[in-house]
Amino acid sequence: MKKDITTISDRISYVQGTLQVISGKWKLPILMSMYAGISRFRDLQRNIPNITTRVLSKELKDLEANKLIVRIVHDSTPVAIEYKLTTYSFTLTPIVDEMIKWGKQHSKGGL
């Protein structure tokens, strides 16, 4: 039995939209680090192996543009910048959890 082409097309579009927000080498590691409680730029950089300052900065801006994080500037000397997860970002946790499960299974040779 064939599925309605419109439904399949819509589903593909939704997946592509999701991938546009979370794809790339660094976005999920950044979010996972933040889910673990890391919120400052330098701490994120130390926690994520091989990420450059420039790339981390760009990825944080992308995550902020997609409303997954907010940037908070603390009025202190020196100025402290912190990143916080939004409530919206936690809607991704089931996806991330399933990806972790799948990756773990895949690394063991599949089913």
Domain 5-107 sits in CATH at 1.10.10.10
For 46, the token pair is 């130390």
pLDDT in tens, 21-67: 999 999 999 999 999 999 999 999 999 999 999 999 999 999 999 99
**pLDDT of res. 27:** 97
**pLDDT of res. 4:** 65
Residues 6 or more apart whose Cβ sits within 8 Å of residue 64 = 70, 71, 83
Residue 85 in this model has a pLDDT that exceeds 70:
yes
**pLDDT of res. 5:** 65
Residue 1 in this model has a pLDDT that exceeds 60:
no
Give this prediction's pTM. Answer: 0.86
Greater confidence (69 vs 8) lies with: 69
Q: What span, in angstroms and rounded, lies between the C-alpha atoms of 29 and 15? A: 20
User: Taking the domains of the chain in order of start, what are their residue ranges?
Assistant: 5-107
Residue 2 in this model has a pLDDT that exceeds 80:
no
How confident is the prediction for the chain on average, in pLDDT?
93
Helices (H), the chain: 5-22, 27-35, 41-47, 53-65, 93-107
Chain centroid to CA 45 = 15
